[in-house]
Structure 1
Amino acid sequence: MRIVTWNINSLRLRLGLLRHLVDALAPDVLCLQETKVPDALFPDAAPGALGFGHVARRGMKGYNGVAVLSRHPLVVDEAAPDWGGRGDCRHLAASVSLPGGEVLDLHNFYVPAGGDVPDRTVNPKFAHKLDFVDEATAWFRATGPRRRCVLVGDLNIAPLEHDVWSHKQLLGVVSHTPPEVERLNAWRDSGFVDAVRHFVPEDQKLYTWWSYRNRDWKASDRGRRLDHVWVSPDLRPNLGGYRILREARDWDGPSDHVPVAVDIDL
């Protein structure tokens, strides 16, 4: 099974790019973040035309939003928490039914970006981000241990030194500050393995996001790894490979994030 995660940064604006993604990666399950579309306006015909017969979505007007497109049946977990009680459509939990009767638990997250100032006392957005990750960590710890579980999404934190273009220069920049990194590591350690770093040593640079502010993103290569795929420890032996689709950053009208694919032998 190939699972792909991508912050599409507006589904309706970049709907045509899904064909490029499917042609390049042929995912079995595609998890999208920042869809920015309420459920009533979701383009229902598009997933089926791309071979995805099953769709789950949780969206709102203009902001946030997550969706799962699958070639296998989905059952949404309606009991999953509403983090912070905000109803802001940042998480979708579902079970994927596989041939042979097996079930894979899937969590698709869009973590708050956190604003610009890394100080919770003056920046409510940063406080919300830290509280969101704390709440998620506590919930996964309380409801674990997990088996046959995958967590993906734009987690908006680059935890490792080589997940950013300059560890020294970005230590005080939201997405790589110590409070965020400590929290993301604690969340992952609640019962997951970093599937991409399973293949790529931590001393190698690895990015999934390049700012729109960089006129030539490829030449400057000032990226961050904000998009993640985690698996429960029992799936570590089943990991078959990964791909970060860097060329997607050069598509016509691209997202500032690129798709991340992980193969799991199930």
Structure 2
Amino acid sequence: MAIRIATWNINSVRARADIVEQFLRDHQPDVLCLQETKVANDIFPHGLFEALGYNHRVLNGQRMHHGVATIARIPIDGAWQYDWQDNGEARHIGVRLPGGVLLENVYVPAGGDVPDRSANPKFGQKLDFVERMTRWSEALKEPAVIVGDFNIAPLECDVWNHKALLDVVSHTPVEVDLLNRLQASHDWVDLGRRFNPAPEKFFTWWSYRNNDWRASDRGRRLDHMWCSPQVATTATAFEAVKDARDWGKPSDHIPQIVTLDL
């Protein structure tokens, strides 16, 4: 069974309902994992998805902040949440796909502006979040896919200028080391780089501050799709929808889609 899974930090699902609809109509993924939905569960825009045949939805929302949602037009089972932030913020939702593979949808904290735990508590929270993910990953026994906004660009070719960003939160050595340890803890396969091998530049986020984001191309690869080694053998296609950065009132992130023959 071929399943197409998409991930997208939408930066408010209600504010960008039109481009979510455009994406679903144009690309028709079987499952869409959204991050930064910025909406409480009781006012989530269910009608948008019902109208397009996405009748299965699991939510972990929060008013005006954070929030994740996994939406599908195929059956998904279960729903669980991990509080890797350790403060109740809505940053994770998990489900089981047909065939039994776990799908984990996560929104890692951005970490503030100063890469110093003592000067910036948000940075420390981010580091601790990834550490908790790693402890979970080490104990994971089932095949899984984990997707979302990890807010870390690990490789030199994941940012527009490696040297310029070494002291910028999202590409600092301590964050990269933590993400590498998370990846090693389960031998996660980075699907983005499986299909777009280094040293090719590959970005998923461009700041709103860039007047012409295409011309400057000062991007970072903050959004990721990883899978267990046994699942990686089923991956047949991958797409990053770069044009979405130009749609309507866009998110600063773009969607990615992987096809798994599960």
TM-score between both structures, scaled by the size of structure 2: 0.96
Shift of 1:208: 0.3
Give the 3-state SS of the residue equivalent to 2:146 in structure 1: strand
SS at 1:11's partner residue?
A: coil
**Matched residues, number:** 259
Match of 1:62 in 2: 64
C-alpha separation in 2, matches of 1:110 and 1:124: 18
Between the aligned partners of 1:127 and 1:173, the Cα distance in structure 2 is 14
The equivalent residue for 1:114 is: 111
Change (3 A) 1:246 1:39: same
8 A Cα contact 2:85 2:91, kept in partner: no
Q: What's the secondary structure of 1:17's corresponding residue?
A: helix
Q: Residue 31 of structure 1 is aligned with which of 16, 30, 33?
A: 33
Using the alignment, how far apart are the partners of 2:142 and 2:190 within structure 1?
15
1:4 aligns with 2:6: yes
CA distance in structure 2 between the aligned counterparts of 1:17 and 1:50, rounded to whole angstroms: 13
- Identity over aligned pairs, percent: 50
Q: Distance in 2 between matches of 1:20 and 1:45?
A: 15
Matched, 1:150 2:139: no
TM alignment of 1:62-81, pairs within 5 A: 62-78=64-80, 80-81=81-82
Q: CA deviation at 1:171?
A: 0.6
2:43 paired residue among 16, 32, 41: 41
Task: Report the counterpart of residue 177 of structure 1 in structure 2.
Answer: 172
The answer to whether the 8 Å contact 2:4/2:30 transfers is yes
Q: Is the 8 A contact 2:59 2:68 kept in 1?
A: yes
Aligned to 1:190, the other structure's residue is in SS state helix
Do structure 1's residue 254 and structure 2's residue 250 form an aligned pair?
yes
Q: CA RMSD in A?
A: 1.0
Which residue type is aligned with residue 104 of structure 1? V
TM-score (normalised: structure 1): 0.95
* Matching residue of 2:217: 221
Distance 1:84 1:244 in 2: 28
Q: Would the aligned equivalents of 1:76 and 1:92 in 2 still touch at CA under 8 Å? A: no
Cα distance in structure 2, aligned partners of 1:31 and 1:50: 16
Deviation at 1:81, TM superposition (A): 2.7
